[in-house]
Structure 1
């Protein structure tokens, strides 16, 4: 009984650590800027860029993100080792 509690606690702490590392990694990444001086603001907006050269909005829709996260959770569930 004690071993299963320790395993559950360990996996919970590992998951929290991974989430913390991913959050820090996302903060460190900067958005990429495209340098096209010959494009006007309207053309940049049409191709999905802000006037400063950064991308507008998110790359993927929320439904695509949800499908990917569900697929990843299913993958993790299949990898679980039954003890």
Structure 2
């Protein structure tokens, strides 16, 4: 994979792709911040989403999530994990 990144840089006048820039930025951010940082920005994002959407929005995405979880036969562990996380989040927002 490293060779592909180098080749794409050479083909684009040594410019970094958006994908590579995002990966580097995410890695740097994760090295400079702890778990609490991510919890805080996640909470802010949740509050912003809640202020911009109504009950119907959450009903629709809940239905979509339920459909995706029930249709994904091979990922029962990941859907169970998502379910546990949403339960934890909803109890914290009480």
Same fold (TM over 0.5): no
Give 1 or 2 for the bigger CA radius of gyration. Answer: 1
| Higher relative contact order, chain-length normalized (CA < 8 Å, sep 6+) | 1
Question: Structure 2 length as normaliser, TM-score?
Answer: 0.28
The answer to which structure has the higher helix fraction is 2
Question: Structure 1 length as normaliser, TM-score?
Answer: 0.31
